[in-house]
Amino acid sequence: MGKLDGKVALVSGSGRGIGRAIAEKLASDGAKVVVNDLDPDPAKETVAAVEAAGGAAVACAGSVTEEGFAERFVGTAVDAFGGLDIIVNNAGYTWDFVIQKMSDDQWDAILDVHLKAPFRILRAAQPIISAATKKERAAGIVVPCRKVVNISSIAGTGGNAGQVNYSSSKAGVIGLTKALSKEWGRYNVTVNAVAFGLIRTRLTEVPAGGDGKIDIQGRQLAVGVNPELLQSMEHGIPLGRAGTPADAAGAVYLLCIPESDYVSGQVVVCGGGFNA
């Protein structure tokens, strides 16, 4: 028996990196997972990994910023697994520049993926959660504690030079989290955020022999942190290292299990003590 047996989870951006680690972690404890990625192949790979480990998952590929995606994402959970219990808003990327060199397109793109997309997903989920709560109460069933975990960053709690768009969007996620925790408490839903520090993913690693770029809907965006700078950043972390996707997934998992049923409206920093 897993702590998440019978639960249905949405995890956006779960074809790779942190999102995949979150999906696999939740599934390993019994949750049925709807996996999302911008590209179909990584989403299918995560589904295959979950199923190979004995779990249940389905894919819902596509950009979280697309019109109608939120409804399709939520609908996939209901159609495939009959309900919705956990929402993890994880999808995102960075597109950095100092403010005087940042275009409106850069600003809009980052706020759309990190803040507008979670808003839309949560808005689409509200009728499903509200109807389930009413049905459970009418039947005399104890309403289960459902969970929302939004992903923020220490850039959102303290700012980061060269990332006015990303820092603003991640600060907005904290506001969204705190407001929604007050709105959805009546449904017995906890709403929390995890703010990540330095986590090693494809966005921080410069690929060997690669050009350090990823394709995001036709945009070639630079990724990767200079190895010497990365090492310097790690020296500033009290635990002495950057986090791993498994570390990040563990922090999210804590806010999805029954032990956190009375924790809501909070921001948990997963940063190795960096901002302690």
Residues recognised as catalytic: 166
For the CA atoms of 239, 244, 246, 251, what is the dihedral angle to 10 degrees? Answer: 50
Length of the chain, in residues = 276
Q: Which residues lie across from 179 on neighbouring strands? A: none
CA angle 177, 181, 187 (to 5 degrees): 135
Element (H, E) at 134: helix 117-138
Q: Which of 24, 34, 19, 18 is CA-nearest to residue 2? A: 24
Let me know: does 84 contact 5? Beta carbons within 8 Å. Answer: no
Query: Cβ–Cβ contacts within 10 Å for residue 118, how many?
Result: 28
Which tokens sit at 132? Answer: 């389930």
Tell me, what DSSP letter sits at residue 56?
E
How far is residue 238's CA from residue 22's CA, in Å, rounded to a whole number?
Answer: 24
DSSP assignment of 181-192: HHHHGGGTEEEE
Element (H, E) at 80: helix 69-81
